[in-house]
Structure 1
Amino acid sequence: MQYIYLHGFASSPNSAKARDIQSYLANLHVNIKIPDLNNGDFSHLTITRQLKQVEKEFPRDSTPVTLIGSSLGGLTAAFLAENYISVQRLVLLAPAFGFLSHWTHALGEEKLQRWRQTKYMMVYHYGSQCELPLHYDFVTDAALYKEDKLRRPIPTLILHGINDEVIPIQASRDFAQQHHTVELVELNTDHGMYDVVDNIKEAISRFCQLP
């Protein structure tokens, strides 16, 4: 089994959560790849680009893949699983279902219009710890990816915080209700989930049947 971790939006492979999970799996003698989805150019990030980048990480033989995705990485993982039969299992951490509508609503029509006109908007990047410009193509591309297109029955574990201030937990509840192969675990935490990493690791170990 090949394990691949997909970090969230404006994050990096060096996020505390990614490294904690990587260290935990290493102690179980499980290697996990953590590609940098910024790909050296956060400003031109799109979901389509992430899909193409991660697909190149897949084994060229018949080795099955487990994807662990956080937030936007979780949404990306779900679409990879839809399109690649080699993906046999998903672990989604606060997956960004419906994120575009939540984000654009939070921005407001004025900021969104300005972004559309000027092409770039400054976004705080947690991995770089500074603001970076993001092209409006991110929005137009993201609009192509709707959860109703996710129909492949694949074993999926979703962990989501009941106090998530970015992606309401109802998004994961709705998804789980519509997909019989999904197990939803609700945790008393927010979108970052940093205070429940031990719970996440235990859930991953159980779901993936690790020693």
Structure 2
Amino acid sequence: MDKSYIYLHGFASSPKSAKADFLRDRFREQQINLQIPNLNQGDFYNLTLTRQLHQIETEYNLKSEQKKVIIGSSFGGLTATWLAQRNPSVEQLFLLAPAFDFLTHVLPLLGNEKLQQWQIERDLSVYHHGEQRDVPLNYHFIEDLSQYSDAQLNRSLPTLIVHGRQDEIIPVQASRHYSASRPWVKLIEVESDHTLGNVLPEIWQAIKLNLD
């Protein structure tokens, strides 16, 4: 039974990101089709973690017995880990600067005033790297995400994390904390920021070396 290989892009990103393009090409060289869904679904305003989970579970039939390997970047890495928690068909994870403790790390970057304004007005203008412009996001994104606790992510499966020591969005400490209590997780720290743009060849070598 053939495996499916899926890449999940990050928050406010797209299937055409630099990492997505790079990994798609590297997998193609190995004659593997890396599937890269668009998690924006043409409706970034109503984006939630729950919606992303349902999208991938439905599009790729994660309830089936066919094995899946998921690579997730940032918020896509958090999504990938929840998919593995909920679906035994996911047998391996590669997480690139995964957004563990997302609310703890990202909300302070907004500041209290902007956060309160978002909660009241329900809309926040977010720079979308995929569209290269500001787009609105509904506060329901926060309300939905607050229902998920990383502490519940306890399924044992081969997991490789690559995280930059200079990450300014999700500090490497988030991955250190996550991996410390989960012996099935291997953490590789690199000299990079949240984009990991300067270490793409190293990321590929790590993935290639650890593919089951």
Name the aligned partner's letter for residue 28 of structure 1.
Q
Name the aligned partner's letter for residue 74 of structure 2.
S
Partner of 1:57: 59
- How far apart, CA to CA, are the structure 2 residues paired with 1:108 and 1:147? 23
Could you report, residue by residue, the CA deviation over 1:129-156 in whole angstroms, capped at 9, with x for unpaired residues? 0000000000111111211010110110
Cα 1:102–1:61 shift into 2, 3 Å: closer
- How far apart, CA to CA, are the structure 2 residues paired with 1:29 and 1:85? 25
Partner of 2:208: 205
Q: Structure 1 residue 26: deviation in Å? A: 0.3
Number of residue pairs aligned between Structure 1 and Structure 2: 209
Aligned to 2:50, which of 36, 40, 48? Answer: 48
Q: Structure 1 residue 109: deviation in Å? A: 1.2
Given the alignment of the two structures, is residue 104 of structure 1 paired with residue 90 of structure 2, yes or no? no
Q: TM-score, normalised by structure 2?
A: 0.96
- How far apart, CA to CA, are the structure 2 residues paired with 1:55 and 1:206? 27
Given the alignment of the two structures, is residue 188 of structure 1 paired with residue 191 of structure 2, yes or no? yes
Name stretches of at least 5 consecutive residues in structure 1 with no aligned partner.
none
Q: Structure 1 residue 102: deviation in Å? A: 1.4
Partner of 2:137: 134
- How far apart, CA to CA, are the structure 2 residues paired with 1:129 and 1:76? 23
Q: Structure 1 residue 61: deviation in Å? A: 4.5
Name the aligned partner's letter for residue 38 of structure 1.
N
Partner of 2:154: 151
Q: Structure 1 residue 62: deviation in Å? A: 2.1
Could you report, residue by residue, the CA deviation over 1:115-142 in whole angstroms, capped at 9, with x for unpaired residues? 0111101000000000000000001111
TM-align CA RMSD: 0.9
Partner of 1:124: 127
Name the aligned partner's letter for residue 18 of structure 1.
A
Could you report, residue by residue, the CA deviation over 1:176-206 in whole angstroms, capped at 9, with x for unpaired residues? 1110100000001000001100001111101
Name stretches of at least 5 consecutive residues in structure 2 with no aligned partner.
none
Q: Structure 1 residue 58: deviation in Å? A: 2.3
Question: How high is the sequence identity, in percent, across the aligned residues?
Answer: 47
- How far apart, CA to CA, are the structure 2 residues paired with 1:102 and 1:66? 27
Q: Structure 1 residue 107: deviation in Å? A: 1.0
Aligned residues of 2:7 and 2:72 also touching (Cα < 8 A)? yes
Given the alignment of the two structures, is residue 172 of structure 1 paired with residue 175 of structure 2, yes or no? yes
Cα 1:114–1:204 shift into 2, 3 Å: same
